[in-house]
Structure 1
Amino acid sequence: MKKGTKAPRFAGKKEAGAHHRNSAPPRQFKVAEDGELLAFLLVKLAPQGRNSVKSLLAHGQISVDDRVEKLYNHPLKPGQVVTVRKDRNTVAPLLVGLKILYEDDAIIVINKDAGLLSIATEQETELTAYRQLTAHVRITHPQNRIFVLHRLDRETSGVMMFAKSEQVQQKMQDGWKDIVKERMYVALVEGMVKKTQGTITSWLRETSTLKMYSSHTPNDGQHAVTHYKVLRASRNYSLLEVHLETGRKNQIRVHMQDLGHPVANDKKYGAKTKPFSRLGLHARVLAFEHPVTGKLMRFETDVPKPFLSQFKEEPQ
């Protein structure tokens, strides 16, 4: 299962002469065999160095069949034409609080930092992942859009994805349970969880103040199922691997509170401690069938270092 290659954090400032057109004509190369864009360019543009070629990609100077491509791992097929322009006629926006892990014509997968909103609410109009990615896809065409598939809370970091068309959004949302094969989180929770693994089941309801809570009366709200396994434990904290069987609003946070071990720094759901300034929750793995090709895609990110640092003095 192939893991997406990380895209560069694009330059945001206009460099001197960035819009000055060089009179040299663009260079074109025909693709003869399957491969990835960066590897292809390193061969064709030799002896240009790797950093120089990456800079061309980051500045929108590389096109595949007249479409600007920036991802190192963009797949190439025989017959396609790769164009290398001398001028930097598009300067990519700075991506703040997110990294693109994978992008093609159908989907875009990112690793979101804690603190960044996924999408704006009526009350909040600040910079969001949605707004930044909309600007990103509009570099190639002003009519391009992205479409929401799921959300991560502001203070939750990790892997999330967006669709690049309404048709893909509809297909994925209609078949979400079958298409998405794995959603795994890591949670740093308060106290030592003594049962090494377990399942929490309840029906989730929402109060008038938008706080979720569990009901144990069958069908009294949205059915929610969370599976967990203890990875590390100390007297003060436990690190859990959490798998979602259902994806409800604040599901993990409510279920950890139900377990008697709230997510670290989650005051809203009962936490008493604040080991760091963020929420102790990270969406580590997202695996799904590609909505167009059917290929299994799997993206895995590292456990945030602040989570692991709570166990440094504990014997492993």
Structure 2
Amino acid sequence: MEVFKFEVTSELAGDRIDKFITSQQEDWSRTQVQQWIKDKRVKVNGNVVKSNYKVSDLDQVEVSVPEPEVLEVEAENIPLDIVFEDEDVIVVNKPRGMVVHPAPGHYSGTLVNALMYHCKDLSGINGVIRPGIVHRIDKDTSGLLMVAKNDQAHESLVSQLKAKTTKRVYQAIVHGVISHQTGTIDAPIGRDKKERQSMTVTNENSREAVTHFTVLDRFTNYTYVQCELETGRTHQIRVHMKYIGYPLAGDPKYGPKKTLDIDGQALHAAVLGFEHPKTKEWVEFEAPLPTEMEKLLEHLRIIG
């Protein structure tokens, strides 16, 4: 069991206890927190509270998180597009629609299930649910991911991500016509207080987020862009492009309902570069646009 402690700030005073707690830890769901409250695992100023309790300024909140259930993740014979592999690292071109690792509602058919069938030696740092997984891309985002096959490689790749020395370049189709050729979006991202499952640009409980973009092509109502990540926050490109007024085409969470005919955001992780954990040589990989995005671009070039 692990105990987490939080202090309520004046901005969040008046929030329900479950809403306050989920605003502090982005990996905790409202349903999960409500169950902990029922199990008397949540205390405020030393006293057990009910889910309708509203927090006050300077309240001391304590959450006793139970040990996670051990889930058996099964290896599954799912085809993988492996761009590179050696004894330390695998680079995979993930298809649109595939979830990276098991989670509630997605215990099978994930990239991890496929990786476990393909190779038995994945790093164990993230445990049974996310073996080898160093970073993630969303279910409906296609493209390149690096996976660690041992703990030494895992630690090296994670440290490179933290030091911002990896290269991660994405291609996207966005609503609107961007007039300038290049730009940098430097805006912190945190959990949306009003919509638990969404991220937003905010100065509250946020983390630094920087995206550099370049226009590749323009159409009547859309722009084809390249985005390079300096940081790697949840939904970063999707949130940042919405923030500057150019949401991704097809994005069900951050984009308009009237959009291009694509199931999920038009976003592809096209380039991935990093220092090899063992040889220390720079390695860089590219993955072509998926068929769905190529067809969209062809359509846009025809209609202008």
Which runs of 5 or more residues in structure 2 are unaligned? Answer: 1-74, 122-127
Query: What is the 5 A alignment of 1:248-287?
Result: 248-272=233-257, 273-287=259-273
- Would you say the 8 A contact 1:280–1:307 is kept in 2? no
Specify the alignment match of 1:138 in structure 2: 120
Specify the alignment match of 1:64 in structure 2: none
1:201 to 186, 193, 198: 186
Which amino acid is the alignment partner of residue 113 of structure 1? P
Specify the alignment match of 1:18 in structure 2: none
Shift of 1:172: 1.7
Percent identical pairs in the alignment equals 35
Shift of 1:267: 2.3
- Relative to structure 1, is the Cα distance of residues 307 and 291 closer, same or farther in structure 2, using a 3 angstrom cutoff? farther
1:46-90 CA deviation, whole Å, 9 max, x = no partner? xxxxxxxxxxxxxxxxxxxxxxxxxxxxxxxxxxxxxxxxxxxxx
Shift of 1:276: 1.6
- Would you say the 8 A contact 1:204–1:223 is kept in 2? yes
- The count of residues paired between Structure 1 and Structure 2 equals 218
Shift of 1:135: 1.1
Check if 1:311 corresponds to 2:297.
Answer: no
SS in 2 for 1:110: strand
Specify the alignment match of 1:241 in structure 2: 226
Specify the alignment match of 2:201 in structure 1: 214
Check if 1:181 corresponds to 2:170.
Answer: no
Separation (CA, whole Å) in 1 of partners of 2:289 and 2:245: 23
Separation (CA, whole Å) in 2 of partners of 1:288 and 1:307: 30
Q: RMSD value over aligned CA atoms?
A: 2.5
- Relative to structure 1, is the Cα distance of residues 157 and 255 closer, same or farther in structure 2, using a 3 angstrom cutoff? same
Query: What is the 5 A alignment of 1:124-135?
Result: 124-135=106-117
Query: What is the 5 A alignment of 1:147-166?
Result: 147-166=132-151
- Would you say the 8 A contact 1:184–1:286 is kept in 2? yes
Separation (CA, whole Å) in 1 of partners of 2:119 and 2:295: 32
Larger radius of gyration: 1
Separation (CA, whole Å) in 1 of partners of 2:274 and 2:160: 11
2:210 to 214, 220, 225: 225
Which amino acid is the alignment partner of residue 144 of structure 2? V
Shift of 1:200: 0.9
Shift of 1:308: 2.1
Separation (CA, whole Å) in 2 of partners of 1:179 and 1:168: 17
Provide TM-score, normalisation by structure 1: 0.64
Shift of 1:107: 0.6
Which runs of 5 or more residues in structure 1 are unaligned? Answer: 1-91
